[in-house]
């Protein structure tokens, strides 16, 4: 039986992929066969001589099992915009069944799967379904990445309440210092500890050069 965790954020650009790579590396150290899964993405770039979404590239790179680009990221759009808008503009429907099929195939290769959403919790996949609807369908356990910055308290509380409203488990939240730490950062985290019901799994310090990650200096409790 594969362990499956859905990574959502309090907003876009809060470091979901960066934290996901840390979790994948830690899970690999624990002996799991790890796989990163980005069901839907928008925005392609040339990475290592081929064109791929950057989030998918780093998830693939930090997975311990060998995966193709399509396995990691089955649905992708060239431009960087909300998926449901690009889906309509490109006449390319995002079928929830395809997301589930990709996850099922991933489970044959891996016993520890990290699934990264796009944007925040309620990112639309169409004008009828959001990412949250698919997570509910699959009964996935959720981890929230909170970008520690102005506005994060409100966003984190709303995100957790939305997850619980769908009767889903929230394994915890990770505080990611996405901007250089100032005198308010600690107060943000202290406030969230009072308001959020799910546990704090770890705090990621601000790191200017993301390519140089020393796991020994970052403590994150690996979800079980």
Block mean pLDDT (10 aa), the chain, length 224: 95 94 95 97 81 93 96 93 92 94 96 96 95 97 97 98 98 94 91 98 84 72 88
Q: Is 33 exposed, middle or buried (0-12, 13-18, 19+ CB in 10 A)?
A: middle
CATH architecture, domain 3-217: 3-Layer(aba) Sandwich (3.40)
Catalytic residue among 4, 38, 60, 149: 38
Neighbours of 124 (CB within 10 A): 19
Please give the pLDDT value at position 126.
Answer: 95
Flag whether 120 is marked binding. Answer: no
Flag whether 81 is marked binding. Answer: no
- Tens digit of pLDDT for each residue in 99-114? 999 999 999 999 999 9
Going through the chain in order, the beta strands assigned E by DSSP cover: 3-9, 34-37, 40-42, 45-47, 50-52, 75-77, 112-120, 141-147, 170-176, 200-204
Please give the pLDDT value at position 109.
Answer: 96
Please give the pLDDT value at position 80.
Answer: 87
Please give the pLDDT value at position 215.
Answer: 67
Q: Which DSSP string corresponds to 185-209?
A: HHHHHHHHHHH-SSPEEEEEPP-S-
Flag whether 206 is marked binding. Answer: yes
Please give the pLDDT value at position 210.
Answer: 59
46 a catalytic residue = no
Flag whether 153 is marked binding. Answer: no
Please give the pLDDT value at position 93.
Answer: 92
């Amino acid at each position: 039986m594969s362990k499956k965790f859905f990574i959502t954020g309090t907003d876009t650009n809060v470091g979901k992929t960066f934290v996901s790579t840390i979790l994948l590396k830690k899970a690999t150290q624990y002996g799991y066969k790890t796989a990163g899964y980005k069901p839907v993405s928008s925005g392609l770039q040339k990475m290592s001589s081929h064109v791929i979404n950057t989030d998918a590239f780093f998830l693939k790179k930090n997975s311990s099992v060998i995966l193709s680009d399509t396995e990691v990221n089955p649905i992708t759009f060239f431009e960087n915009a909300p998926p449901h808008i690009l889906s309509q503009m490109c006449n390319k429907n995002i079928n929830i069944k395809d997301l589930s099929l990709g996850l099922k195939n991933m489970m044959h290769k891996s016993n520890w799967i990290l699934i990264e959403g796009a944007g925040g919790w309620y990112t639309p996949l169409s004008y009828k379904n959001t990412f949250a609807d698919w997570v509910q369908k699959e009964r996935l356990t959720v981890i929230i990445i909170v970008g520690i910055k102005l506005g994060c308290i409100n966003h984190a509380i709303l995100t957790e309440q939305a997850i619980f409203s769908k009767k889903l488990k929230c394994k915890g939240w990770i505080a990611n210092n996405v901007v250089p730490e100032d005198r308010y950062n600690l107060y943000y985290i202290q406030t969230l500890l009072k308001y959020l019901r799910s546990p704090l799994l770890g705090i990621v310090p601000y790191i200017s050069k993301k390519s140089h990650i020393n796991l020994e200096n970052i403590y994150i409790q690996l979800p079980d």
